[in-house]
Amino acid sequence: MTITASPSTAPFMAATDASTLTATPPEQYAPHATQRESWRQRSLARLATLKAATPVTPLLELSLRGLGEARILIKDERAHASGSLKHRLAMSLFEQALLKDWLTPGCPVIEASSGSTAVSEAWLARRLGLQFIAVVPRGTAFYKQEAIRGEGGRVVEIEDSARLCQHAQALADDSGGHFINQFRHAATAGDRASDGASDTSLPGECLAQIAARELPELQAVFLGAGTGGSAASFARHLRHLHQAGHRARVIGVDPEHSVYHACWQHHRAHGTRTTRLPAPQAANPIEGIGRPCVLEAFDPAHFDDYRRIADARSQAAALWLAEHAGLEVGPSTGTAFAGLLESLALRRARGESLAGSWLLLACDHAERYATTLGDPAWRAAQQSRLAPQRAWIEAFAHRNDGA
């Protein structure tokens, strides 16, 4: 059930600012128009081959006695070749960039990322013969950085995570490369990869698996937002189902130190999207989801509900899944699992039915967090903080009252 990949030990390729990059002069890398078009078509063909070879990821079911008739489903996105949910996004972003002729042979592709998107993009860039540079917040998990380097990419760490995009754009400008910008294009790149209602999209794939196994109708999917791209994809797909009478919902989950929950609350109260929100007062330890500012691709209208989850509960949930369900997952998956449990506990307290399928995504593998979730010393140091949350989760495995 678990997917393992040995962490890379590739040497660190230092790059702290644009002056350290070695860029080919534009007059040397700019190919003749015919040569460039030939390269673009070959790259698109290679990308199509890679996409065709991408397997359908497993749909797992978790049994919890305390939730009775609820069917808890986990889409295991760790099974992708690059190890995470972001494999799909990387494919879509590179396809969009090639179709729009944004990429140039011999010039780097640059991304701003908290890690997992950059790992998948480095994997893909290597197979397309492109240089890759990731701009990440200082403190990004060591094994994510090593995975990027292992695919031949370079890593630039910066202190201010709110300025990732500005730094990435500056590197692109100075190196002659292209800032692929998941935060701007995540919500639209998927439209090029597949129709929002297609069975080849992530939501379409999930729903096809649910139907093939004759599972109950989907009630909700629980998603943490980084770029908001997955939520946009599910929202588009579920709108088509709503026309046929289905009422599946998209429920967002947010770490403590993120502005997305507040952005959603403002939209719910006023009907408008705002970016004028106070920055969190502490760093976010749940890598991959939540942001210190509202990013361009995040649309609160894609969510039917939104829950803020305590960081300790997210981490405890990820550890519980590893220890009791054999699912070695990162903390963002823990956030989604905790949000699912909270939502179903509230439904039960209100006397509402739990019947149906309830979905979350296993976004990445715990091995990328070897210095936190995977470190026995870290777990021991966090024992008193996590123990109450672990006990709360454990109750769902044994009780029939939903407490």
Query: How confident is the model over 262-311, as pLDDT tens digits?
Result: 999 999 999 999 999 999 999 999 999 999 999 888 999 999 999 999 99
27 contacts: CB under 8 Å, gap ≥ 6: none
- The answer, yes or no, to whether residue 362 has pLDDT greater than 60, is yes
Give the DSSP H or E segment for 22: none
Instruction: Calculate mean pLDDT across residues 251-258.
Output: 97
Q: What is the model's pLDDT at position 7?
A: 34
CA-CA distance, 53 to 292, in Å (whole number)? 36
CA-CA distance, 126 to 79, in Å (whole number)? 19
101 contacts: CB under 8 Å, gap ≥ 6: 40
Global model pTM greater than 0.75: yes
Q: What is the model's pLDDT at position 379?
A: 95
Grouping H, G, I as helix, E, B as strand and the rest as coil, residue 290 is coil
**Between the CA of residue 308 and those of 41, 48, 90, 391, what are the distances in Å?**
45, 38, 27, 19
- Which among 72, 338, 328 has a CA at the least distance from the CA of 218? 72
Question: Could you read off the pLDDT of 323-360 as tens digits, one per residue?
Answer: 999 999 999 999 999 999 999 999 999 999 999 999 99
Question: Could you read off the pLDDT of 46-89 as tens digits, one per residue?
Answer: 999 999 999 999 999 999 989 989 999 999 999 999 999 999 99
Query: Which position has the higher pLDDT, 325 or 1?
Result: 325
Instruction: Calculate mean pLDDT across residues 152-157.
Output: 97
2 contacts: CB under 8 Å, gap ≥ 6: 78, 326, 327, 328, 365
Question: Could you read off the pLDDT of 176-223 as tens digits, one per residue?
Answer: 999 999 988 887 775 444 444 556 689 999 999 999 999 999 999 999
> Edge-to-edge strand order for the sheet containing 109-112?
154-158, 132-137, 109-112, 178-179
Handedness of CA 140, 142, 143, 148 (dihedral sign): positive
> Edge-to-edge strand order for the sheet containing 305-308?
59-62, 70-76, 356-362, 218-224, 249-254, 305-308
Q: Are 10 and 146 in contact (CB under 8 A)?
A: yes
Percent of the chain past pLDDT 70, that is, above it, reads: 88
Q: What is the model's pLDDT at position 196?
A: 46
- Which among 230, 219, 198, 192 has a CA at the least distance from the CA of 96? 192
Pairing of strands 218-224, 132-137: unpaired
Q: What is the model's pLDDT at position 21?
A: 42
- The answer, yes or no, to whether residue 114 has pLDDT greater than 90, is no
Where are the extended beta strands (E) located within 188-318?
A: 218-224, 249-254, 305-308
CA-CA distance, 224 to 85, in Å (whole number)? 12
- The answer, yes or no, to whether residue 8 has pLDDT greater than 50, is no
Q: What is the model's pLDDT at position 33?
A: 80
Torsions phi, psi for 222 (to 5 deg): -110, 120
- The answer, yes or no, to whether residue 130 has pLDDT greater than 50, is yes
Torsions phi, psi for 157 (to 5 deg): -95, 135
Torsions phi, psi for 305 (to 5 deg): -155, 165
Count of residues for the chain? 403
- Which among 212, 216, 219 has a CA at the least distance from the CA of 360? 219
Handedness of CA 316, 299, 262, 266 (dihedral sign): negative
191 contacts: CB under 8 Å, gap ≥ 6: none
CA-CA distance, 383 to 377, in Å (whole number)? 10
Q: Are 162 and 178 in contact (CB under 8 A)?
A: no
Q: What is the model's pLDDT at position 244?
A: 67
Assign 399 a pLDDT band (cuts: 50, 70, 90): low
Provide the mean pLDDT of the chain.
88
Q: What is the model's pLDDT at position 23?
A: 44
Structure tokens belonging to residue 54 = 């991408």
For tokens 């109450």, name the residue.
Answer: 388
Query: Which position has the higher pLDDT, 322 or 19?
Result: 322
Grouping H, G, I as helix, E, B as strand and the rest as coil, residue 154 is strand
Instruction: Calculate mean pLDDT across residues 27-48.
Output: 84
Q: Which amino acid is at 373?
A: L
**Between the CA of residue 49 and those of 42, 43, 45, 89, 124, what are the distances in Å?**
11, 10, 6, 16, 12
Q: What is the model's pLDDT at position 309?
A: 98
Assign 5 a pLDDT band (cuts: 50, 70, 90): very low
The total of other beta-carbon atoms located within 10 Å of residue 232's CB is 24
